[in-house]
Amino acid sequence: MKMLQDKVAIVTGGTRGIGFATVKKFLDNGAKVVLFGTKEESVQNALNKLKINPMYEVIGMHPDITNMKEVEKAFAEVVKRYGKIDIVVNNAGISARDSLYNYTEDAFEKIIDLNIKAVFNCSKVGASYMKENGGVILNTSSMVSIYGQAAGCGYPASKFAVNGLTKSLARELGKDHIRVNAVAPGVIHTDMVDSLPEEMIKPIIDSIPIGRMGEPEDVANAFLFLASDMASFITGAILSVDGAGMC
């Protein structure tokens, strides 16, 4: 039996990087997956990559997850198609490295909207469908949610908030058999990291005791475990996946 056999999962930010790896990992383990992206083109590109396995049951959507009405409409369509929602992975997010002196109000609000408000929206609507039979909400946090970072204060602030939502919702929703956990990745080999100069990345990698940066699949494996019944007594946890880079 696969670990997520016949489960229905929504993964936001599912078109690339950690989100795409998580979509594929869930599909490999028997889940039906709805991946959310920001644009129709990126969603279709992700779906095209998944055509390598005709057994995958996956569809894509591109709602504005910072808008509660669009989230409600999208989730209702998922339930109409599959009859339920078992797992929500709140992975969509953006980062920033702006100095406080150059940080604009608009840039800060954009971080807050996607990294916090969207997590709230999808958690609220997802939980309303899970209340009858239980379910799992998983959030993408970050190692900077624990240690902060030297610039771009909006990003760690948003991830501190994600941790707070995770722990608070775990306590609130436990009575409804809804587990809520987060994964806090360290330095992961994604497009975002690839865009950084080598002189910035190499010292970071050199400081990781395990000797390498993480791969998106490393984080996807953590999400798979937390989504599965193997983690049935784990809720309110912030699981670091960082190669001991920040322990």
Provide the β-strand partners of residue 136.
87, 179
Give pLDDT tens digits for 106-137.
Answer: 999 999 999 999 999 999 999 999 999 999 99
Q: Determine, yes or no, domain membership for 118.
A: yes
Please give the positions annotated as active site. Answer: 155
Q: Determine, yes or no, domain membership for 171.
A: yes
pLDDT of the residue at 136: 98
pLDDT of the residue at 247: 52
59's enclosing H/E stretch is strand 58-61
Q: Determine, yes or no, domain membership for 100.
A: yes
The CATH number of residue 152's host domain is 3.40.50.720
CB 36 within 8 A of CB 121: no
- Which structure tokens are listed for 3? 């670990």
Q: How many residues does the chain have?
A: 247
Q: Domain limits at 58?
A: 8-238
Neighbours of 153 (CB within 10 A): 18
Report the SS3 class of residue 232: coil
Q: Determine, yes or no, domain membership for 134.
A: yes
pLDDT of the residue at 7: 98
Alpha-carbon gap, residue 179 to 88, rounded angstroms: 11
Q: Determine, yes or no, domain membership for 244.
A: no
Q: Determine, yes or no, domain membership for 220.
A: yes
pTM of the shown model: 0.94
Starting at the earlier edge strand, list the strands of the sheet with 238-241. Answer: 58-61, 32-36, 8-11, 87-90, 135-140, 178-185, 238-241
Quote the number of domains for the chain: 1
Below-70 pLDDT ranges, the chain: 148, 192, 196, 246-247
